Chain A
C-alpha cells in the first residue's frame, strides 16, 4: 500500500534560517502530493500541493517540487519566522480515493 516517510523532528532553527523538511513516498502510479501545517492547538490546514511530476507547489514562502525519479516532495523555505513554528505533514492521495495517506509529521521550532 501507499506510505509516506518524513524526517524525524523536532527541527530547531533560528529565525531567517533556511528550512528543508524531507518527504519521500511509496505509491503506485502518479499520486497527488501535499503539505499540511498544524499550528499549536489547531487542526491541519492545506499548505501547498502538486498533482503531477515536476510541478512545484508554493504558498506563504514555502515550496515543494514533485520529484518522480526520487519519489520525493521536500518542503523548503528560504527564511523562516517564529510564526512558522508548527507541525508539518506530508501526504498523498490518488484520484478518486476517499482519504489521504499522511506521514508522521515533523515539528518545526523557530527561535528568535
Chain B
C-alpha cells in the first residue's frame, strides 16, 4: 500500500529538548515536504526536498532542520523546541513535477511546554 508514515503521532516535550519527527514514504517519490498546520492559518511549508541531499527552505523554516540522506526518509529536527512550535505537523511526498498530487502522512501533534 502506498503511504507516508510519520512517527511519533503524538509528542509532549519541554522547551529546549531536542526532538526528531521521522517521515518515510514507500512510493519512490523525489519530492518530500514538511508542513505545519495551525488554527486559522491553514498549512504552511517548513522545508522541502527535491531529492537526496537536496533541501531548501519553505515559508516558515526558523527553528527547524531537515536532512535527506535516503530517498524514502525525510526527518524533521527541532534542535531546541519552543512553545511557539506547538502545532500539527504533516509530511508529504510527491513525484516530480505536479505539486498538487501530494500524499500526506497522518500528522504528528506536538506540544512544547
Contacts and interface: CB of A to CB of B under 8 A. Distances in A.
A70 to B, nearest CB: 21
Interface residues of B, number: 25
A81 interface: no
Contacts of B58: 98-99
A32 B45 contact: no
Contacts, number: 58
How big is chain A's contact interface, by range? 20 to 34
Given A43-B4, A43-B92, A44-B43, A100 B99 contact: yes
Given A43-B4, A97-B99, A102 B43 contact: yes
Interface of B: 4, 33, 37, 39-45, 48, 56, 58-59, 90, 92, 99-107
Nearest to A44: B104
Interface of A: 4, 32, 34, 41-46, 49, 89, 91, 93, 97-100, 102-105
B90 A43 contact: yes
Nearest to A41: B106
Contacts of A105: 37, 42
